[in-house]
Amino acid sequence: MPNIIVVGTQWGDEGKGKIIDLLTPSVDCVVRFQGGANAGHTVVIGEQKTVLHLVPSGILHEQCRCIIGNGVVLDPVTLIDEIEGLHQQGYLSDPLRLAVSDRAHVVMPYHRQIDSLREKRRGASRIGTTGRGIGPAYEDKVTRQGIRCIDLVDPNAFEERLDLLVPEKNKELELLGGTPINVDELMDLREKWANYLAPHITDTTMLVHDAMRDGKKILFEGAQGTALDIDHGTFPFVTSSNTCSGGALSGSGVGPTAIDDVVGIVKAYTTRVGQGPFPTELEDECGTHMQDKGKEFGATTGRRRRCGWFDAVLVRHAARVNGLTKLVLTKLDVLAGLKKLKVCVAYELDGKRIDYMPADAHALERVKCIYEECEGWKGDIADARSMDKLPKAAHRYIDMLADLIGVPVDIVSVGPDRSANIIIRSIF
């Protein structure tokens, strides 16, 4: 009964959607455990590209049940749009294949408004939020004044929650220069959302435990990456949830004894969207090569991603805090054509070599990277399906990364297409 957690090891955008799609035929359930519509997973099948923000990418496989766990903050507008889009593509003919936790908190329109207004007010000190209302929704969860999915299907409970929170929210909106909450409009939205989503809303913790009892295989899917974790990331330039493997437990309602492996998805170079320190960032032709060849634009925001050399310090940090047992290396094909490759193996901070990621963002901005250099390779590797089809320089690069991180690489992705992978060892 192998149950695995899949997490990103950098600042997100590592290619988790594609890899989860690759692994899904081997599992019975996929559980999304944190984040919201600020994340985007992209799966390319032939000429068709599917971008999902809330629905687990396992939904593209008919045998798989997909669950949105209690740790997710759920935007009903985005979820309904995604379900409609999946219907149009011929997926999700059985609504019971998608379950939504009745304990998941709801992203309301006022959360989006507050998020955008706050970011605008920060000016040059902005943190790079997507403006999707994720942070304000998690705030309401922590202060115990949030609205949960269970409240959507009970108009009286929904109205009671609004009565408690509207006066406070309107005060904040007034200070920020926003538009006051219209309770009648929200009541109308509740009815619309409930009518559409009620068949999906259920106690998903029971579903997960029933699946485990029946010996089914479960994949726990995270969003964003370790360096965006609220506790272990580059604070304050982080998201509002625990993106690490521990978040899979609280975000889905299982204990640590249920997990057999933690798989880290790692890009062959490093990217970041938005503000915050980025030690290996490149602003030269190598960075441009990665941006252009890797099509580095955010699936959620459309923003151009910042690119840089592989940062082994960052990924070793991810290996520690997640308890990684296996790695999947993605976008190796993007590096083809670069004569020399560099890997950051340590930092220098105020004249002293360090092998860890500082907690202070200002210190991380000051670090100098200590690099090791290796040979690049020429030619397109997107058709390679076994390690012996890769150039020797690519072999050496993969081995170097695995040695620096201390975790074996089991799968290598060599292109965006669903089939463009080299399976070194089976994850299951």
CA distance 51 to 113: 24
Share of the chain above pLDDT 90, in %: 81
Write the CATH number for 172: 1.10.300.10
CA distance 119 to 115: 6
- Res 17 pLDDT > 70: yes
Task: Note whether residue 296 is domain-resident.
Answer: yes
- Give yes or no: residues 85 and 141 share one domain: no
- Give yes or no: residues 172 and 213 share one domain: no
Q: What is the pLDDT of residue 177?
A: 93
With bands split at pLDDT 50, 70 and 90, how would you rate the model's confidence at 341?
very high
- Give yes or no: residues 160 and 69 share one domain: no
Question: Would you put residue 5 in left (φ > 0), alpha (ψ -120 to 50) or beta?
Answer: beta
Q: How do residues 251-288 score in pLDDT, each as one tens digit?
A: 999 999 999 999 999 999 999 998 899 999 999 999 99
Task: Note whether residue 305 is domain-resident.
Answer: yes
- Give yes or no: residues 92 and 115 share one domain: no
Question: Which of 116-125, 151-160, 184-193, 199-208 is the least confident region?
Answer: 116-125
Distances (CA, A) of 148 to 50, 69, 108, 177: 28, 12, 10, 27
CA distance 313 to 423: 26
Q: Are 22 and 411 in contact (CB under 8 A)?
A: yes
pTM: 0.92
Write the CATH number for 12: 3.40.440.10
- Res 1 pLDDT > 70: no
Task: Note whether residue 141 is domain-resident.
Answer: yes
50 DSSP β-pair partners: 43
Q: Are 99 and 204 in contact (CB under 8 A)?
A: yes
- Res 135 pLDDT > 80: yes
Q: Which one from 21, 41, 140, 200 is the annotated catalytic residue? A: 41
Q: Report how many domains make up the chain.
A: 3
Question: Which of 82-96, 103-117, 145-159, 195-209 is the least confident region?
Answer: 82-96
Residues 6+ apart with CB under 8 A from 121: 176
- Res 130 pLDDT > 80: no
Write the CATH number for 396: 3.90.170.10
Assign 123 to helix, strand or coil: helix
Structure tokens that stand for 305 in this block: 């991603």
Q: What is the pLDDT of residue 250?
A: 97
Q: Which one from 13, 102, 311, 333 is the annotated catalytic residue? A: 13
- Give yes or no: residues 305 and 419 share one domain: yes
Mean pLDDT of the chain: 92
**H/E segment holding residue 43:** strand 41-45
CA distance 169 to 137: 12
Pairing verdict, β 98-101 and 201-202: parallel
Task: Note whether residue 368 is domain-resident.
Answer: yes
- Give yes or no: residues 46 and 93 share one domain: yes
Q: What is the pLDDT of residue 304?
A: 85
- Give yes or no: residues 287 and 408 share one domain: yes
Q: Are 333 and 381 in contact (CB under 8 A)?
A: yes
CA distance 298 to 380: 24
Amino acid identity for residue 361 in this structure: A
Q: What is the pLDDT of residue 58?
A: 82
- Res 41 pLDDT > 80: no
Share of the chain above pLDDT 70, in %: 95
Distances (CA, A) of 98 to 31, 58, 60, 202, 215: 10, 10, 11, 10, 20
Strands (E) in 88-239, as ranges, are 98-101, 105-106, 201-202, 218-221
- Give yes or no: residues 304 and 327 share one domain: yes
Task: Note whether residue 401 is domain-resident.
Answer: yes
Q: Are 293 and 334 in contact (CB under 8 A)?
A: yes
Q: How do residues 354-413 score in pLDDT, each as one tens digit?
A: 999 999 999 999 999 999 999 999 999 999 999 999 999 999 999 999 999 999 999 999
Q: How do residues 311-331 score in pLDDT, each as one tens digit?
A: 999 999 999 999 999 999 999
- Res 48 pLDDT > 70: no
Assign 344 to helix, strand or coil: strand
289 catalytic per annotation: no
- Give yes or no: residues 221 and 331 share one domain: no
CA distance 256 to 122: 39
Question: Quick one: average pLDDT of 103-119?
Answer: 94
Q: Can you give the residue range of the structural domain that contains 139?
A: 105-147+154-197
Domain-terminating residue out of 226, 261, 296? 261
- Give yes or no: residues 70 and 205 share one domain: yes
Q: What is the pLDDT of residue 128?
A: 63
Task: Note whether residue 125 is domain-resident.
Answer: yes
Q: Are 60 and 92 in contact (CB under 8 A)?
A: no
Q: How do residues 61-80 score in pLDDT, each as one tens digit?
A: 888 999 999 999 999 999 99
Domain-terminating residue out of 219, 235, 261? 261
- Res 350 pLDDT > 90: yes
Q: Are 76 and 39 in contact (CB under 8 A)?
A: no
- Give yes or no: residues 158 and 209 share one domain: no
HSE-up of residue 3 (Cα within 13 Å, Cβ side): 23
Q: What is the pLDDT of residue 109?
A: 95
Q: What is the pLDDT of residue 66?
A: 95
Q: Are 222 and 252 in contact (CB under 8 A)?
A: no
C-alpha angle 243/405/314, rounded to 5°? Answer: 50
Task: Note whether residue 428 is domain-resident.
Answer: no
The single-letter DSSP state of residue 128 is -
Q: What is the pLDDT of residue 62?
A: 85
- Give yes or no: residues 117 and 227 share one domain: no
Q: Are 174 and 133 in contact (CB under 8 A)?
A: no
Q: Write down the H helix ranges in 24-154.
A: 76-88, 109-122, 134-142, 149-152
CA distance 116 to 322: 31
Structure tokens that stand for 284 in this block: 């030269």
41 catalytic per annotation: yes
Task: Note whether residue 30 is domain-resident.
Answer: yes
